[in-house]
Structure 1
Amino acid sequence: MASVSVETLRTWLESGLPVTILDVRPASAYAAWSIPGSQHLDAYEALKSGQTGGLEELELPADRPVVTVCEAGQVSQRAAALLTARGFTAYSLEGGMRAWSLAWNTAPVLPDPGVCGQPEAARRAQAPEQRHVIQIRRTGKGCLSYLISDGTAALVLDPALDPAVYQQQARQRGWQITAVLETHIHADHLSRARALAESCGASLLLPAQQRVAFPFIPVADGQQLAIGRLHLQALRTPGHTPESTCYLLPGPPGTPALLFSGDTLFPEGLGRPDLDADTEEARRRAEMLYASLQHLLTLPDNTILLAAHSARPLPFDGQPVLTTLAAVRTWLVPLLASPAVFSTQMLSNLPTPPAHYQEIIAANESGDWPAIPPEELEGGPNRCAVRL
């Protein structure tokens, strides 16, 4: 049975090739996370039992390939075979949604100089403010990382993909990755920060803490971090984790600053305070988060918020996930009536924890890559946010 790899499907979607993606998983699994633009047919149980599940009469466009999807890439093979018998060019997605969790795409936050090919002086003249920011997104997982550059030096923030992805993105723009930085110790994905720093000879920077067991350069509250001619200011914002830190990238006069908020503050939610914490510690962290949010709200309204995760699958549309602090105020300020009320609301609205979060935290603290494949540890939707 013909199959297609995650990288091939990712390339098709990124290039705009017409393709029908047919997800045959149960409705609950599809609702939890899916490939953007996919079509759903709840045929999983029927296909497992040797039935057709409605595929014999399903109407699909005949002028494009069909890629069938299930959880691990096995039941989808049966779906692809049935569609092939009907005359469609059908493929099964290798590894299913587990493998798709490693798919990625990009979106420019600020004007992107694109592929290197013109003199550096000309490229700088086109973007005189010297801030370049590319949002690199794990589309199925919702992880958002950032490639930040002054046009020469570059920093990667919260890498969640194979180091080669970031190196390729920097290389094609003529940038050199000189530093790798994290906002906090992640619980929903394996950090690639240490591996990326080692592979390109860059400095590895983490918020100051005593959780990790490998060497790094600690970042303190208020510290200025240089990226060539740019400077990021560290803003310690404990709550989601004790060491959580946001980073502020100012712009030229008259332009908004960029706030890289990690898992502290999302466009439509807040970082959960309960992972790897007992009830008392979770409440203490919620109160810390309350104070951290009050601090962030002192920033100007036009500050652009760039978080480390999205709660939805990310389409191949080139549109970055962002908002302004003004937009966040409309729903956040009413929640901050008092620390006690805020903490109670946070802890009574917690979603299901990410799968395998304890193993992921342990790996990110030790720096040892686990024996379990990342697609098995990291599979499933993002569950780091609390929406109130």
Structure 2
Amino acid sequence: MSDGYTARFPQRLRVLFAVASVVVSGSILVFTAKASYSPAAAVAVVLIAVQAAGFWWLGGRPAPAATVVLAAGAGMQVLYPVFGPGLAFVALCTYAWLRPAARTWWILAAAVAAASGPAVARGRWDLAGLWAGAALLAWSWGAWARARGARRVAERRRAVLEERARIARELHDVLSHTVSVMVVQAAAADDIFDLDPVRAREGLRRTEQAGREALAELRHFLRTVRGDEDKGDEDGDGAADEPQPRLSDLDRLAATMRESGLDVSVVWEGDGAAPAGVQVGAYRIVREALTNTLRHAGASRAEVLVRVAGDEVMVRVRDDGAGGGGSAVKDGHGLLGMRERAGLLGGSLRAGRRPDGGFEVEAHLPLRGTP
């Protein structure tokens, strides 16, 4: 079972571990064997070399390499108890870091046997218990290091996925309304092109204007994503940045929707002032709601209520569609984007079918604590 994390044991660490094992084990052997030749010393030299090779191969073939290190360490303890299982614990910890915890239980059992076995054979149960506890600690340390690395990778992946989802929703907010209007106006122009060329051309001009607005909003969005929103226009076409929409632009939005066949009225209540950030959020919520109405509800009329009073801005969009809001709910991006936009401003949004027919979207956005 994989945890989605890949730990890499670089060559420089493999060299370091192999050389360190030779230096440490060789030094102990020299002081223990008094530099005198014996069959046990010769075997120990071979085991030291084998152990170093195991550390070298730990990155590429961790399971057999760790087994070799544990076996060589146990053999050296049998020949010279003073060696101890320290290097075996290093191999155990490294293996627990290289592989998921569910696949390393066997190496923990093998390490306990290799570290405590020679002590048990000598009747040193106290030492055997100490080595068993040290093996568990080494395995836990390696497993903890892997879990931390896996958590960091998961967090980075989640951040990437969240950013992709945010960009998708923002693109939906930026383009869905204008493109929907363009499609409706182009279809209407095509229907009347032979009967009334003048009106058809007017519809095409409105389609062209909507396309230009979509390009301007897309350029602004892309600069925001790249983090260079303050830079000037780099496209060389002399197009100026469109200002961020405000509540006062809702009348113009309603006129555009009326030209697309949806009769939209805007009702204003209250005379308070709203911060720019709240106005942008409220405008985009209304625009998305009207776009869903135009695309899904099959409605002929829609009413927008804007109330700026007390400590909040309330916007409400009602249509007379035949339950078309259900399609908008299934759309996913539209309502989710509106709810997230309201939430970012510290507000709330409610959407659903009306008892007397049609669909309603209502958002409450606080005036305080917003830019």
Q: TM-score range by the shorter chain?
A: under 0.3
* Higher relative contact order, chain-length normalized (CA < 8 Å, sep 6+): 1
TM normalised by structure 2 equals 0.28
**Higher helix fraction (1 or 2):** 2
Q: Which has the larger radius of gyration?
A: 2
**TM-score (structure 1 length as normaliser):** 0.27
More strand per residue? 1
